[in-house]
A and B are shown apart, each in its own frame.
Chain A
Amino acid sequence: MKLTDEMKDTLSIIGAGGAVVHFTTCSADGKPNTVGERFVAVWKDEYILIADMYAQKTRFNLMENPIGVITIAHPVLGRTWAFRGPTTMLQEGLPPDYEFHGAKAKDVLDEWGNWAEKEPPSEVPPDIRPPMLVQRGVIFMKVDEVYSYNASEAGKKIL
């Protein structure tokens, strides 16, 4: 399933560290974890990635329950989208041929393994800027579905 150009534009704010989103994961026994994230990008039209700045609970959850939901934090122009699909964490050290839903980890990490170099987030104010952009890898979602979170039509299938 491919994201629309409008969705890709919303998720890819070049030079500004990407869009701001919330990312929800869940333990295998059903305890959700919902955190704000920046450093977001789209990869090959059907994947969304987020820089993994040592996300703690997210990692535990994805290791036992590899699915997530990404919701746009600033929904302008009716872009009240929630993206859901299988999600994992890619980082150096995986087998060279490791694939996740059709994507080669090496290809993803070669492009996005050093976010600070590829897209330095120059606009982040000092009081909310991470002390250092220390990246472990990337959180990587294959989007399976997109639904609306607009209150009047919450859950309506978009894609």
Chain B
Amino acid sequence: MTKLTPRMKNWIEGLGAHIGTATKKGFPTTIVVESVKVEGDNIVKVQLSEAQVSQIKQNISENPQVALGPGGLGSIRAAYQFKGVAKIESTTLVVEVKEIYCTKPGPEAALRLDILPYENIIKFESTRWRDTGPPK
């Protein structure tokens, strides 16, 4: 099962995410949130505004597939992408992450991380980045 690392959690909990959604025919809409909450190994919960719910609820109802990229400084420093399925519960977007990719430009762009043993993901991170989350 997919499991986010502490570094991944720190970045998206600290600086939020850009969340891509789409109609089932592939017309994309992106929303941006300033923080999220990671629960367990791979559940990301996002508190939405009424306007955000209104903007994406049709997309989520007809096509639950979403993609998340870390926001702010994480756009570059936390080069991950999380893909999964989502549902909206009241004003909370609940995402079950099913795939994790490295998006660092270069030869490892699009490398799928969640298929690696967890300890190998940790090792991968420690040899690519110096931080464990956004600056305090």
Contact = CB atoms under 8 A, between A and B. Distances in A.
Given A32-B22, A56-B109, A155-B55, A22 B33 contact: no
Interface string A35-51: 11010000000000000
Contact of B30 (A69, A132, A134): A69
Contacts of A69: 20, 28-30
Contacts of B26: 26-30, 65, 67
A26 B65 CA distance: 10
B106 interface: yes
Contacts of B110: 56-57
Given A53-B109, A74-B72, A149-B32, A33 B67 contact: yes
Interface residues of A, number: 46
A70 to B, nearest CB: 8
A146 B54 CA distance: 17
B42 to A, nearest CB: 17
A128 B76 contact: yes
Contact of A67 (B27, B33, B73, B105): B27
B64 to A, nearest CB: 9
Interface string B15-40: 00011111111111111111000000
B69 interface: yes
Interface string A116-150: 00000000000110111010000000000000010
A75 B55 CA distance: 19
B104 A151 contact: no
Interface stretch (B1-9, B77-85, B113-121): B77-85
A73 to B, nearest CB: 4
Contacts of B128: 127
A38 B76 CA distance: 8
Nearest to B74: A36
Contacts of B63: 30
Contact of B75 (A73, A131, A156): A73
Given A127-B130, A152-B49, A32 B28 contact: yes
Interface of A: 20-22, 24-36, 38, 53-57, 65, 67-69, 71, 73-75, 80, 82, 84, 127-128, 130-132, 134, 149, 151-156
Interface of B: 18-34, 48-49, 51-52, 54-55, 63, 65-77, 79, 81, 83, 103-107, 109-110, 128-130
